[in-house]
């Protein structure tokens, strides 16, 4: 690692947090959390006065801060924030390749891979901030509007359910790292922001097709297909879903492996590519 | 640099390029468009892979350690446009691993941008960006400056300032400067040594005076004779042999190229032919003449 690596990370943070895609990621993280929380609060209000089979609906469904946090976690992990994070990654590498600012870094006395490493750390910090903002807004606003965790939610876990939710958020950060690594690898090959976005869409479509084929094969009794289905990209990156049940170590291992593989490919390729 | 080769597809952008820049040189790297200048500069800076050949900078062959000694400006400098000029220099300083705030101030001062360093680079003119690019190359006091067309986009005053700055860097700070330019007069006014590249190969290298003498093989003189005497003068030249009229010199004098003939013999022949010689001024060959004589007119590859 070059001795100036911490300075490199510092200036990459400056770039990531002042670029439109970075600011957008943080703003949308807060907005998604606020919107879903307000929506949940509104929906919870609709229960008042409603009944089902003569029983009041209120109480059948728990609308508390943990529920809100979970819904926000699902919303965060859908399209918008991963897409913005991918855009931030593509802007940091493919974007700088295209506008030739990457050249100004490549003429400095540092190994090429360390440039990607500095950018990765900065993007990981962006992701961590996005996760933290989403969690903080959801929990604080949810607590104010809906109160503390409901009693029935807390039968077994009590506060632990909130702690498990926090683990779910931490796991979604882990998924983000894989996304950053994949975005970085694509950026090194494709070298334009639009190209990276199109590539990731094609990759996700291919991944879903593969998932469907394996799921069908598993349904038809092919045992190996049932094992392989967890190796598909989207399935593996859903490792955070284990927060309300069981975290699967195999999913985390697959995400870690994918991340390492994508970083390795990006580093090797970037070391040999001509910089315009 | 020795035996540098780089091909794009089936065509060689540079082929067997040998180049030697001495410490303290202000070296002008010339060549027509597509001669391979930028390819060679990118190879020096490690921006492109070399097919073969070696680059050595102050005895160092490791590409990363070589770049510790180099400050560079390649083509039109590019910046993170939404950031200020100062922040762009901070990025460069961080990656270079040297360059304090005081160094950044000094570099900005040298190119006259200190007052506007806090403004977004997106609002800078082309000339300001070029000067900021030079400031970035100067950060951290490199021992070798590699500059590709550093006066692009500058007005005549800005061009002169850059020329003066580069001369000062060589004289006062003992820097070695390698500068590519298509402006021959600029290189002639600034550089002590030049290399001329054509179709990926070095065609000439040395001091301007030395090269003109070695490659031209001719002496140039300007002869002042009355307009009415010119037809007779041309007759004298034809009889003498080795004299070629090249057009008009300064103050309407005839510009002649002499091969195997001393200016004194030319003067004597004219006087004996009854022609009054108002002036006979020896003139050194120009870099432009040398450039045109060693480069081809067809475009190259890169």
Q: Is residue B296 in a domain?
A: no
Same domain assignment for residues B19 and B58: yes
User: In this complex, how many residue pairs, one in chain A and one in chain B, have their CB atoms less than 8 Å apart?
Assistant: 79
Per-residue confidence (pLDDT) for residue B218, from 0 to 100: 65
Segments of chain B with pLDDT less than 70:
213-218, 284-285, 296-302
Most A CBs within 10 A among B42, B91, B120, B133, hence the mutation to make, goes to: B91
- In this prediction, residues A92-99 reach a mean pLDDT of 92
> How many separate domains does chain B show?
2
Structure tokens at A64: 């508390």
Q: What is the CATH number of the domain that holds B233?
A: 3.30.70.100
Same domain assignment for residues B8 and B59: yes
Cβ–Cβ contact B95 with A under 8 A: yes
Same domain assignment for residues B150 and B257: no
Q: Is residue B297 in a domain?
A: no
Same domain assignment for residues B242 and B193: no
Q: Is residue B146 in a domain?
A: yes
Same domain assignment for residues B125 and B197: yes
Give the whole-angstrom CA distance, residue A159 versus residue B206: 80
CA dihedral A167, A172, A177, A182 (to 10 degrees): 150
Residue among B74, B78, B94 whose CB faces A10 most closely: B94
| C-alpha distances in Å from residue A75, one per residue of A79, A89, A242, B94 | 8, 21, 16, 38
Same domain assignment for residues B154 and B250: no
Last residue of a domain, one of B183, B207, B231: B207
Per-residue confidence (pLDDT) for residue A154, from 0 to 100: 46
Q: Is residue B299 in a domain?
A: no
| C-alpha distances in Å from residue B211, one per residue of A217, B192, B214, B215, B285 | 78, 12, 5, 6, 9
Per-residue confidence (pLDDT) for residue B260, from 0 to 100: 77
- Determine whether the interchain pair A108/B96 forms a contact, defined as Cβ–Cβ distance below 8 Å: yes
Give the whole-angstrom CA distance, residue A24 versus residue A216: 39
Same domain assignment for residues B270 and B188: no
Supply the pTM of this predicted model. Answer: 0.84
Last residue of a domain, one of B207, B231, B251: B207
Residues of A in contact with B14 (CB under 8 A): none
Per-residue confidence (pLDDT) for residue B257, from 0 to 100: 78
Q: What is the CATH number of the domain that holds B38?
A: 3.40.50.300
pLDDT digits (tens, 9 = 90+) for A37-64: 999 888 887 776 677 777 766 666 667 8
- Determine whether the interchain pair B78/A274 forms a contact, defined as Cβ–Cβ distance below 8 Å: no
Q: Is residue B301 in a domain?
A: no
Q: Is B58 left (phi over 0), alpha (psi -120 to 50) or beta?
A: left
Same domain assignment for residues B267 and B172: no
pLDDT digits (tens, 9 = 90+) for A227-264: 888 888 888 888 888 887 788 888 899 899 999 999 99
Per-residue confidence (pLDDT) for residue B216, from 0 to 100: 57
Nearest-CA residue of chain A relative to B76?
Answer: A100
Same domain assignment for residues B280 and B189: no
Same domain assignment for residues B172 and B252: no
CA dihedral B10, B13, B19, B23 (to 10 degrees): -140
End-to-end CA distance of chain A: 25
Give the whole-angstrom CA distance, residue A258 versus residue A55: 49
Give the whole-angstrom CA distance, residue B177 versus residue B167: 9
pLDDT digits (tens, 9 = 90+) for A153-199: 544 454 557 888 899 999 999 999 999 999 999 999 998 999 999 99
The answer to whether A20 and A129 are in contact (CB under 8 A) is: no
Task: Write out the residue range of the structural domain in which residue B51 sits.
Answer: 2-207
Per-residue confidence (pLDDT) for residue B35, from 0 to 100: 87
Residue A50, judged by CB atoms within 10 A of its CB (0-12, 13-18, 19+), counts as exposed
Q: Which residues of chain B from 52 to 71 reach within 8 Å of chain A, CB to CB?
A: 64-68, 70
């Amino acid at each position: 690692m070059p001795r100036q690596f911490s300075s490199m990370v510092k200036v990459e943070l400056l770039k990531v947090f002042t670029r439109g895609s970075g600011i957008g990621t943080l703003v949308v993280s807060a907005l998604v959390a606020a919107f879903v929380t307000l929506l949940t609060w509104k929906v919870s209000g609709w229960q008042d006065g409603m009944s089902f089979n003569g029983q009041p609906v209120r109480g059948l469904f728990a609308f508390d801060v943990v529920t809100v946090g979970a819904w926000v976690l699902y919303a965060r992990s859908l399209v918008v924030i991963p897409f913005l994070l991918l855009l931030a990654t593509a802007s940091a590498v493919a974007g700088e390749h295209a506008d030739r600012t990457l050249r100004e870094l490549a003429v400095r006395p540092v190994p090429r891979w360390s440039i990607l490493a500095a950018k990765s750390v900065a993007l990981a910090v962006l992701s961590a901030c996005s996760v933290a903002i989403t969690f903080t807004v959801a929990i604080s606003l949810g607590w104010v509007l809906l109160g503390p965790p409901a009693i029935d939610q807390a039968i077994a876990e009590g506060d632990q359910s909130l702690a498990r939710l926090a683990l779910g958020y931490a796991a979604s950060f882990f998924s983000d790292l894989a996304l950053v690594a994949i975005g970085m690898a694509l950026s090194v090959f494709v070298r334009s922001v639009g190209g990276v976005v199109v590539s990731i869409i094609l990759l996700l479509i291919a991944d879903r097709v593969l998932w469907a084929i394996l799921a069908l094969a598993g349904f038809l009794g092919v045992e190996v297909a049932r094992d392989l289905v967890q190796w598909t990209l989207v399935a593996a990156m859903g490792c955070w879903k284990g927060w309300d049940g069981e975290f699967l170590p195999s999913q985390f291992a697959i995400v870690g492996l994918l991340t390492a593989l994508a970083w390795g490919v990006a580093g090797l390729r970037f070391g040999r590519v001509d910089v315009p | 640099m020795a035996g540098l080769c780089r091909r794009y597809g089936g065509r060689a952008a540079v082929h067997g390029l040998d180049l030697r820049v001495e410490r303290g040189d202000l070296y002008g790297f010339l060549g027509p468009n597509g001669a391979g200048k930028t390819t060679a500069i990118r190879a020096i800076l490690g921006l492109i892979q070399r097919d073969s050949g070696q680059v050595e900078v102050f005895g160092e062959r490791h590409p990363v350690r070589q770049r510790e000694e180099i400050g560079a400006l390649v083509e039109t400098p590019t910046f993170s446009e939404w950031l200020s000029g100062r922040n762009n220099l901070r990025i460069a300083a961080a990656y270079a691993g040297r360059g304090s705030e005081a160094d950044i101030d000094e570099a900005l001062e040298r190119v006259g941008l200190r007052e506007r360093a806090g403004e977004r680079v997106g609002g800078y003119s082309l000339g300001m960006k070029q000067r900021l690019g030079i400031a970035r190359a100067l950060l951290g006091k490199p021992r070798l400056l590699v500059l590709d067309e550093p006066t692009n986009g500058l007005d005549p005053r800005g061009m002169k300032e850059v020329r003066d700055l580069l001369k000062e860097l060589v004289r006062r700070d003992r820097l070695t400067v390698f500068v590519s330019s298509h402006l021959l007069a600029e290189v002639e006014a600034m550089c002590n040594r030049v290399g001329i590249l054509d179709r990926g190969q070095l065609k000439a290298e040395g001091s301007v005076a030395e090269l003109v003498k070695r490659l031209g093989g001719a002496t140039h003189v300007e002869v002042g004779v009355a307009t009415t005497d010119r037809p007779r003068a041309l007759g004298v030249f034809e009889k003498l042999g080795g004299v070629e009229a090249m057009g008009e010199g300064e103050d309407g004098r005839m510009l002649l190229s002499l091969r195997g003939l001393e200016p004194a013999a030319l003067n004597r022949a004219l006087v004996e032919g009854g022609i009054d010689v108002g002036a006979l001024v020896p003139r050194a060959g120009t870099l432009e003449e040398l450039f045109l004589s060693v480069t081809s007119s067809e475009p190259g590859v890169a």
